[in-house]
Amino acid sequence: MSDSVFDNRFCRELPGKTNASLRPHQVHGAAWSAVRPSPVGAPRLLAWSDELGESLGLDRPASDEDAWVQALAGNRLLPGMQGYAMCYGGHQFGHWAGQLGDGRVVNLGELVTPSGQRQELQLKGAGLTPYSRGADGRAVLRSSLREFLCSEAMHHLGVPTTRALSLVSTGESVVRDMFYDGRPESEPGAITCRVAPSFLRFGSYELPARRGDGGLLRALVDYSVREHAPAFWQEQADIAGWFRDICQRTARLLVHWQRVGFVHGVMNTDNMSILGLTIDYGPYGWLEPYDPRWTPNTTDADGRRYCFGRQPIIAQWNLACLGEALATLLDDIEPLKQALNEYAEVYAHEHAAAFAAKLGLRRLDPQDALLDELLNCLQRLETDYCISFRCLARMPFVSDPQAQPQPADVDLLAPAFYAEPSAQDREAWLAWLQQYHARLQCDGLPVEDRRPTMDAVNPKYVLRNYLAQQAIEAAQLGDTRELETLQRVLRHPYAEQPEYERYAGRRPDWARDKPGCSALSCSS
């Protein structure tokens, strides 16, 4: 680890404030502010991603006294590291929020990996920055463990995402009002090390555009294109081409979210990555009973702006905000409009391909009635989203061309049902299975390829909130065994793992309304 090389181009090539006060204030003319992490009392390494560490050229630290554990806890900067917080703005719940910035994140710099790639390392929960807006800059174990687990789970699901290298407890307490109900409690603190090629987000460009700072905006765009989208750089940035690429990346990302049933919960423009990565894991959740209006975020419970069914259109709205910022640098904005329109086209095409695979079909047309009627069946009776698709692959007629749908086949969906189906429910499901069977008969995908195709895109294991909550409660008592088990299980989400079958089941009844197991707040 001592040979790790940092080369911090972001700070070197973009203007920053090097004498930043930690007092919350408006930062103008700068993309970043210099800041050091705040030391903690008794850091302890709770979790480590071996796969990510290997790709970064880092070995798992042997003890809590290791220099890297101290760095990942914010107690020191290693040679080459450069502490800073990024400045950005954003639209939150549809309204312009002004300057936001890294309020509890301190970046450590850009690590050059053994393969020559650059990965930014940042500590979430590392203390005060100029963007803390009156908060303490810390994070609790509850939210930090959720982010660590989910970042790595999403990676293994094949969903574009930031990664998480480590989870470190601080040995100090943090006071949080979990549900904003006037009952704050002291909770154990923790720090997550997040990793990505870049943490630039839509709001990074919105803020200088809103302020009329064309110079900073141009510098940010030029840097972003040169470093992260060189195909659109030739003496200067092809802004329209770059924006089209962002739109397409975002469309594909949203298809992945819908494919695996992931609900982000806080799709503000400051939480949207220019690289098309899932970023900022807050009150996320997995769709359990299928309900397109479900949101895991208590703050969004009334408006449901960021519910599962609205995620694709919200992503396009967010892209429009980014496009408006970039338009201030162009004389002709028509190419930006065309790129934004292409988002919907790419999303529809990729969504149809993804759901064709989920159903073991060679192709599926956008807005296909087969999928619409399946979703109607899922919604009419509380039916688990992920489990139901996994069950469909086990229907006899999927792998046996001679088999016909039978009333008893509805019972094969029982692991996904949260309630006993009525006679009408069973009739509706049987009618759909017959329609599905007819489609399989005329589809060109070979019979022997159906189940492997379906199992490769329909996860058996996802990070359900109740599973994360069980790991949190154990970790708060000093027991990390459940955390470690979940790490092992979620590394292979599409595989049959008989020894971990209990992690594949639907949400238990006791978790329906338990705090942390259903809806969550932004508090962390």
Distance CA 506, CA 383 (A): 9
Of 143, 134, 164, 155, the residue nearest 47 (C-alpha): 164
Tell me if 390 sits within 8 A of 455, measured CB to CB. yes
Tell me if 145 sits within 8 A of 122, measured CB to CB. no
Distance CA 268, CA 90 (A): 7
Which residue among 270, 300, 409, 455 is the active-site one? 270
Kindly give the pairing relationship between strand 16-17 and strand 32-34.
Answer: parallel
CA distances for 435 relative to 20, 239, 427, 430, 452, angstroms:
64, 47, 12, 9, 21
Alpha helix (H) residue ranges in 182-238: 202-211, 214-228
Of 364, 385, 368, the residue nearest 309 (C-alpha): 385
- Contacting residues for 208 by C-beta, under 8 A, at least 6 apart: 214, 216, 217, 220, 325
- Token representation of residue 337: 């409009």
- Token representation of residue 154: 């999403």
User: What counts of helices (H) and strands (E) characterise the chain?
Assistant: 16, 13
Name the DSSP class of 308: G
Sign of CA pseudo-dihedral 55, 462, 246, 362:
positive
- Token representation of residue 407: 């009333």
Of 341, 304, 297, the residue nearest 319 (C-alpha): 341
Tell me if 198 sits within 8 A of 220, measured CB to CB. no
Letter for the amino acid at 315? A
Kindly give the pairing relationship between strand 84-86 and strand 32-34.
Answer: antiparallel
Letter for the amino acid at 9? R
Distance CA 264, CA 522 (A): 12
Active site residue 479: no
CB atoms within 10 A of CB 64: 15
Tell me if 232 sits within 8 A of 245, measured CB to CB. yes
Of 247, 257, 356, the residue nearest 309 (C-alpha): 257
Of 90, 337, 369, the residue nearest 210 (C-alpha): 90
Q: Is 138 helix (H, G, I), strand (E, B) or coil?
A: strand
Catalytic residue numbers? 270
